[in-house]
Amino acid sequence: MWKHFYSLTQIPRPSKHEGKAVQFLEKFGKDLGLETIKDEIGNVIIRKPATPGMENRMGIILQAHIDMVPQKNNDKVHDFKKDPIQPRIVSKEDGDWLYATGTTLGADNGLGCAVAMAVMEADDLVHGPVEALFTVDEETGMTGARGLKPGILKGDILINLDSETEGELYVGCAGGLDATAIFKYREKPLPKGHEVLAIHVKGLRGGHSGMEIHEGRGNANKVMMRVLLPALRDLKAKLVSIEGGNLRNAIPREAVAVVALPPSKVKALQEIVDSVLAKVKNEYANIDPNIEIFLEKTKGKNMMCGQVALKMAKAVYACPNGVDRMSLEMADLVETSNNLAIVKSEDGQIFVKCLMRGSIDSAKEDLSEAIRATFELAGAEVTLSGGYSGWQPNMKSPILKTMKETYFNLFGKEAEVTAVHAGLECGILGSKYPNWDMISCGPTILSPHSPDERVFIPSVDKWWEFIVAALADAPKK
């Protein structure tokens, strides 16, 4: 398993650029002499027959996604389309942790792929008919799951390998919906004598917009508006450009806005920066203590005309962000949330992109209408797209019963049964294969979607032992 995970870290595989990893997995299956299929969308399926005496068991599909989130620290030189990940082990009091070096690790979901590969390769396991399903582009649109054709898989049970807390069995997940607001602007040359300054927001932790949205981590785009709005409104600064966040499902860690204003107002802008920094350092002291806001001299030629930038800043400031509502059905589970993920100007347009999640479709849609109204009132064109439903829990699931018993027999304690606010592929896959019994599990991974991503090594070994035992305990047909 670890061998296969390391191999995957050496193959660049950011979302929508998984071609080499797809070829690697296809060759892997064929080299084992197993039936291997690459479908039209790029998903890879490998089939392995039951071991002798296990032919009467229900078929199990081990499912993981190939792609990884490409995030790096600002000072790290790394091309995710070309460069391998550099894993490193860090020893702590509670045990060893695996990190990358200045980038995301890709344990989400490379470890799931590695487990499925190890099962396919092993000749000393006991299992019924088993299939491995490796999907593409989960992180930026679940394209692989959406494009999977009904009928191509033969199994009865799906074990999704994309959860991130060992000892927990997931039986439900949130659905998602994207909102894109577009403000159009014209440019004109900067007035002579204006100072051009870049406002930087840095040092935030970022993270997974599903798994960590409940922690209240700072959002660089929202923090930026606390400086930019008074700069545009009160100091009459002009916006040259803005860029904050780069992935819809990652809480934005950094943002930069370039503004122009008379030299006489630079001191007032610095006072706004100092004031906002003091406030957010106090507000986020326990969750984002390393936040920075500072000014830097830069250059610019043109600025945005009229009031478009000010209207955008007001709308982003007003836009809901973070947890919208907690579940009334399951303790400590977020029901509905929004990640104000990206604010970016280019080619005469400012794009604002949000990812909403919700376990109840109607509540998610209600939040989307609030966000749509916010931006439309400010004059933006708003599009809602990419919607998918969540995965509704089935507490009478046979595989849930089996895996709970397996976990207890192995480790002498109950596995926790829960749901997750992240958007697992189970909801989409289950709509194509409504007969499937589904469950999700994984090792302990912290801070996925950020350069702080790390996996607790002992939890992976324990998870592998659990998967092996669960295959041997598969329900009979």
Each residue's pLDDT tens digit, 443-457: 999 999 889 999 999
Nearest to 380 by CA among 128, 233, 179: 179
Q: Is the model's pLDDT at 390 over the cut of 90?
A: no
- As given in the structure block, the two tokens for residue 18 are 């998984």
Q: Is the model's pLDDT at 389 over the cut of 90?
A: no
Angle at 386 between CA 324 and CA 254, to 5 degrees: 60
C-alpha dihedral, 44 to 426 to 211 to 460, nearest 10°? -60
What's the confidence (pLDDT) of residue 149?
A: 96
3-state secondary structure of 255: strand
Query: For 51-66, what is the mean pLDDT?
Result: 97
What's the confidence (pLDDT) of residue 156?
A: 96
Q: Assess contact for 319 and 354: CB atoms under 8 A.
A: yes
What pLDDT band is residue 359 in, cutting at 50, 70 and 90?
confident
Query: For 29-39, what is the mean pLDDT?
Result: 98
Mean of per-residue pLDDT scores for the chain: 96
Rounded CA gap, 467 and 444, in Å?
A: 15
User: Residue 23 CB: number of other CB atoms within 10 A?
Assistant: 13
Q: Is the model's pLDDT at 392 over the cut of 90?
A: no
Query: For 294-306, what is the mean pLDDT?
Result: 96
Rounded CA gap, 337 and 327, in Å?
A: 11
Per-residue pLDDT reduced to its tens digit, 419-440: 889 888 998 999 899 999 999 9
What pLDDT band is residue 227 in, cutting at 50, 70 and 90?
very high
Query: For 118-138, what is the mean pLDDT?
Result: 97
Q: Which residue has the tokens 């008919």?
A: 129
- As given in the structure block, the two tokens for residue 372 are 């749509």
What pLDDT band is residue 211 in, cutting at 50, 70 and 90?
confident
Query: For 202-223, what is the mean pLDDT?
Result: 94
Per-residue pLDDT reduced to its tens digit, 251-266: 999 999 999 999 999 9
What's the confidence (pLDDT) of residue 332?
A: 86
Q: Is the model's pLDDT at 285 over the cut of 90?
A: yes
What's the confidence (pLDDT) of residue 474?
A: 96
Strand order in the sheet with 88-92: 88-92, 95-99, 454-456, 445-446
Rounded CA gap, 348 and 103, in Å?
A: 32
Rounded CA gap, 11 and 234, in Å?
A: 50
Q: Report CA torsion sign: 450, 166, 336, 215.
A: negative
What's the confidence (pLDDT) of residue 394?
A: 87
Angle at 171 between CA 165 and CA 175, to 5 degrees: 95
3-state secondary structure of 193: coil
Q: Which residue has the tokens 């064109």?
A: 381
Q: How far is CA 303 from CA 5, 139, 226, 347, in A?
A: 48, 34, 20, 12
DSSP secondary structure, 79-136, as one string: -TTTPPP--EEEEETTEEEEE-SSB---HHHHHHHHHHHHHHH-SS---SSEEEEEES
User: Residue 317 CB: number of other CB atoms within 10 A?
Assistant: 16
Q: Active-site residue numbers?
A: 67, 138
What pLDDT band is residue 276 in, cutting at 50, 70 and 90?
very high
Domains, the chain: 2-173+391-472 (3.40.630.10), 176-388 (3.30.70.360)
Per-residue pLDDT reduced to its tens digit, 306-332: 999 999 999 999 999 999 999 887 788
Paired residues of 388 in beta bridges: 176
User: Residue 30 CB: number of other CB atoms within 10 A?
Assistant: 12
Q: Assess contact for 17 and 42: CB atoms under 8 A.
A: no
What's the confidence (pLDDT) of residue 393?
A: 85
Q: Report CA torsion sign: 79, 348, 319, 376.
A: negative
User: Residue 293 CB: number of other CB atoms within 10 A?
Assistant: 24
Q: In terms of C-beta density within 10 A (0-12 exposed, 13-18 middle, 19 or more buried), how is residue 153 classed?
A: buried
Rounded CA gap, 282 and 408, in Å?
A: 44
Query: For 285-299, what is the mean pLDDT?
Result: 97
Q: CA-based diameter of the chain, in Å?
A: 84
Q: In terms of C-beta density within 10 A (0-12 exposed, 13-18 middle, 19 or more buried), how is residue 101 classed?
A: middle
